[in-house]
Amino acid sequence: MSVSSPLTLFLTELLGAPPPAVETWWLRAERRLLERGQPLLRAGEHWRHLWWVERGALRLYYLDRDGAESNKNFFLDGALCWPITPTLRQQPVMFHVEPLEDSVVWALPFPVDPGKPLPSAGWAPWAALEHQVLCALLDGKMQREQEFLQLSARQRYTRLLEQHPQWAERIALKHLASYLGMTDVSLSRLRSEMGLRAANKTQRSGPG
């Protein structure tokens, strides 16, 4: 590539050398330095970027009718996050996205017309990536439904420790508790019963 960035290098390693139109698109990405809590996307806005977390942590959450937060997903170092379905690209979102710690995020803009295909449309490696991500999203949704219906709070937390050890180290208990469908007090008590240390969060700062 004539110009490279951490994002273009990451995508090239993941997908292989892109066609010219895709390469031109990738080179439009912008590096953003985000402070903890700085909104990246608010409910009611249009989601018009692919995000790659070079360093840091993002959370996706909803607000219920009373203003209580409900965390639905977390994205840590190296994660890709983008509006993969036409509905997510064309309609305002109903959730929020913000950094849980000071973060470095690359924002790759989508076409201004949300109905216009991405420059990567028709490129087999990108299609394979989209399929992989959609399958992972569906599998994750089905697993969460099964966990809430059939597992105890302790079992849900144990599974999280097994599947997402970085979350347990990097994400504050109150956010993990929301994701697991319990209060932070209940999760703290549960961790004590399991003999786990009280603090699980190492706060990062300064995304230079």
pLDDT number for residue 204:
54
Q: Is 16 helix (H, G, I), strand (E, B) or coil?
A: coil
Interatomic CA distance for residues 123 and 104, integer angstroms? 28
What are the start-end ranges of the H helices in 51-172?
86-90, 124-150, 153-163, 165-170
- Shortest CA distance to 105 belongs to which of 58, 137, 171, 59? 58
User: Using CA atoms, how far apart are residues 191 and 181, in angstroms rounded to an integer?
Assistant: 15
pLDDT at 201 over 80: no
Instruction: Assess whether pLDDT exceeds 50 at residue 98.
Output: yes
How would residue 207 be classed by pLDDT, with cut points 50, 70 and 90?
A: low
Q: What pLDDT shows up at residue 198? A: 58
Q: Is the pLDDT of residue 37 over 50?
A: yes
- CA angle, 2 then 57 then 169, to 5°: 130
Residue 153 structure tokens: 């709070």
The CATH classification number of 6-116 equals 2.60.120.10
Instruction: For residue 18, give the nearest of 120, 114, 107 by alpha carbon.
Output: 120
| pLDDT for the residue 206 | 54
Over range 91-101, report the average pLDDT.
Answer: 97
Write down the pLDDT at residue 114. Answer: 76
The total number of residues shown for the chain amounts to 208
User: Mean pLDDT across the stretch 82-97?
Assistant: 93
First vs last C-alpha separation in the chain: 25
Is there a contact between 106 and 51 (Cβ–Cβ < 8 Å)? yes
- pLDDT score at 115: 79
Supply 23's token pair: 């390469």
Where do the structural domains in the chain lie, given as residue ranges?
A: 6-116
Percent of the chain with pLDDT over 90: 86
Q: Is 149 helix (H, G, I), strand (E, B) or coil?
A: helix
pLDDT band with cut points at 50, 70 and 90 for residue 202? very low
| Residue 167: both structure tokens together | 């979350």
Dihedral sign, Cα of residue 106, residue 58, residue 64, residue 152: positive
Phi, psi of 100 (to 5 degrees): -90, -15
Tens of pLDDT along 156-198? 999 999 999 999 999 999 999 999 999 999 999 999 999 987 5
Residue 177: CA count within 13 A, CB half-sphere: 16
> What band does 4 get if pLDDT is binned at 50, 70 and 90?
confident
Distance CA(203)–CA(56), nearest Å, equals 10
